[in-house]
């Protein structure tokens, strides 16, 4: 079955630096991969979707890459700010549903 792995350890980044989060998956290659932000006690909020034929997608300070050979997506936040602190989830297309990673907690320190 499809499996997604995100770093379970929190990522601590100094304000102003680039934060990079990793999403690895096994088995077949999904056609689409999505990234979400989740704040404590709140529902996930959709950020970006990238298709398998797109190597890179950008939205403001966010950038997502998708390497189907490595079976990996990287999520970058440039010029990070304390307000970017949250848990970031990746999700990929399964047979009839999205399959979700457990998320990586990002902490941006002033």
Partner 1 sequence: DADVTQTPRNRITKTGKRIMLECSQTKGHDRMYWYRQDPGLGLRLIYYSFDVKDINKGEISDGYSVSRQAQAKFSLSLESAIPNQTALYFCATSESYWTYGYTFGSGTRLTVV
Name the one range near partner 1 by CB under 8 A: 27-35, 53-61, 62-70, 78-86.
27-35
Around Cβ 83, how many Cβ atoms within 10 Å?
8
Q: Coil, strand or helix: which one is 61?
A: coil
Q: Which is nearer to partner 1, 77 or 92 (CB)?
A: 92
Q: Is 36 in the site for partner 1 (CB under 8 A)?
A: yes
Tell me how far apart the alpha carbons of residues 37 and 41 are, in angstroms, rounded to a whole number: 12
Q: Is 97 in the site for partner 1 (CB under 8 A)?
A: yes
State the distance between the two ends of the chain, measured CA to CA, in whole angstroms: 41
Q: Is 93 in the site for partner 1 (CB under 8 A)?
A: yes
Residue 72 Cβ, how far from partner 1 at the closest point, in Å? 17
Q: Do residues 77 and 60 touch, judged by C-beta distance below 8 A?
A: no
Q: Which is nearer to partner 1, 15 or 100 (CB)?
A: 100
Name the one range near partner 1 by CB under 8 A: 21-29, 37-45, 52-60, 71-79.
37-45
Q: Do residues 4 and 25 touch, judged by C-beta distance below 8 A?
A: yes
């Amino acid at each position: 079955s499809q499996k997604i792995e995100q770093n379970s350890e929190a990522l601590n980044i100094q304000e102003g630096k680039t934060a990079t989060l990793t999403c690895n998956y096994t088995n077949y290659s999904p056609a689409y991969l999505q990234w979400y932000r989740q704040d404590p006690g709140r529902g996930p909020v959709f950020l970006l979707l990238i298709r398998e034929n797109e190597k890179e997608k950008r939205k403001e300070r966010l950038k997502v890459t998708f390497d189907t050979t490595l079976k990996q997506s990287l999520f970058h936040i440039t010029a990070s700010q304390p307000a970017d602190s949250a848990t970031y989830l990746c999700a990929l297309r399964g047979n009839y549903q999205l399959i979700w990673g457990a998320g990586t907690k990002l902490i941006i320190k002033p």
